[in-house]
Structure 1
Amino acid sequence: MKYILASASPRRAELLTEMGLDFTIMPADTEETITAEKPGEIVTCLAKEKALKVNESLVLADNYCIIGADTIVYYEGEVLGKPEDKDDATSMLLMLQNRTHQVYTGIALCYKKNGQEKLLTFFEKTDVTFYPVDRFDIKAYIESGDPLDKAGSYGIQSGFGKHVRSIKGEYTNVVGLPIGRLYNELLKAKLL
């Protein structure tokens, strides 16, 4: 089976490598348009869009699996994507500190095996609670540049992880790819 990651995220690539998959990176060139309302549906639709876009450009005949993924941070009915700038990142982190929010990652597996093409989608949700974080720590973190390319303006695996009080759910989901769930879905679909 040939695996293709439809994402340019270095974090997702690291997680797939940790999972033991040999894969090719082929980022999807799509405009992310949110048409769903529920957070699980949003990430699933966006992941599906990415996987199908890569599938359109493939010339492989059989035995491949495209892995599309999308992650959002969700807090009190609001989707928090990547920040527009440092001020936006500051606002997000001030809003999230000392509170619990949800991280959703949607996965789409677009695959062809034994001549049959199929699509499997699912999502994972993790609750994350932060300790209170003072403005100095938030400003220092933002100046590092790390939050500017991350949903919700933080990376749990990098400088902001020290502010996490608790996690309920899969840790790697918060990083951007729930590898436990992904591995089990690949097993169930007989794609490993």
Structure 2
Amino acid sequence: MEATTSPFKIVLGSSSIARRKILAEMGYEFTIMTADIDEKCIRKEKPEDLVMALAEAKAEAILQRLPIGDNVKDAEPTLLVTCDQVVVYEGAVREKPSSKEEARQFLKDYSGSHAATVGSVLVTNLKTGFRKGDWDRVEIYFHTIPDETIEKLIEEGTVLYVAGGLIIEHPLILPFVKQVVGTTDSVMGLPKALTEKLIKEAL
């Protein structure tokens, strides 16, 4: 990948390590800026609408902090990539667990059942102002997850910091993932194909 000579710059508006890893795997170099927004004050009925609204809010928050003149003057465009993700279980939207108890309940719910992730990607071209976003949904089916595995996951703690307490690539949970209808990168927070498509369109 000739990422170093890429004719545009990317700002990833996310603090997620998984998203960083995926964008790097795609061959892009990028800088990171995080949007400190109160996600709880944005509510939508449909999960697809919610993740799109949150990606927009993150983009707006980051735009406020960018010296906008520079991006318009720069020869090469800068693309801002913002994302959001929620888990949907039996029609209800789940965000990051608020406690260990809630995370435990979430995992018990998934055991022998299924959930979905709905993730958004929004690309804003800071030079032209063009903005395009879309969402991606993945269905995940689980085998029965033993209680001791759930306890180990809670103790280890990663599940406390992800939407719906849902992780599929974690070595403890991987053996209990029955089927994934969609792509793992999407579940991890950044669907590669969709991101690639939006980057091309934004240029």
Q: Identify whether the pair has TM-score above 0.5, normalized to the shorter chain.
A: yes
Q: What is the CA distance between 1:190 and its match in structure 2?
A: 5.2
Q: What is the CA distance between 1:84 and its match in structure 2?
A: 1.1
2:71 aligned residue: 61
1:131 aligned residue: 143
CA contact (8 A) 1:55 1:110 kept: no
1:178 aligned residue: 191
1:120 aligned residue: 132
Q: Secondary structure at the residue paired with 1:128?
A: strand
1:164 aligned residue: 177
- Which amino acid in structure 1 is aligned with residue 62 of structure 2? V
- Alpha-carbon distance between aligned partners in 2 of 1:180 and 1:61, rounded to the nearest angstrom: 26
Give the unaligned 5+ runs of structure 1.
none
After TM superposition, the score normalised by the length of structure 1 is 0.93
Q: What is the CA distance between 1:146 and its match in structure 2?
A: 1.6
- Please report the RMSD computed on the Cα atoms of aligned residues, expressed in angstroms: 1.3
For the pair 1:51 / 2:59, whether they are aligned, the reply is yes
Q: What is the CA distance between 1:61 and its match in structure 2?
A: 2.4
- Alpha-carbon distance between aligned partners in 2 of 1:40 and 1:161, rounded to the nearest angstrom: 26
CA deviations over 1:117-144 (Å, ceiling 9, x no partner):
1211110000000111121111111111
Aligned length: 188
| Bigger share in strand | 1
Q: Secondary structure at the residue paired with 1:120?
A: strand
- Alpha-carbon distance between aligned partners in 2 of 1:66 and 1:79, rounded to the nearest angstrom: 26
- Which amino acid in structure 1 is aligned with residue 30 of structure 2? F
Q: What is the CA distance between 1:163 and its match in structure 2?
A: 1.4
- Which amino acid in structure 1 is aligned with residue 57 of structure 2? E
Identity across the alignment (%): 29
Q: What is the CA distance between 1:14 and its match in structure 2?
A: 0.6
Give the unaligned 5+ runs of structure 2.
1-7
- Alpha-carbon distance between aligned partners in 2 of 1:180 and 1:162, rounded to the nearest angstrom: 26
2:29 aligned residue: 22
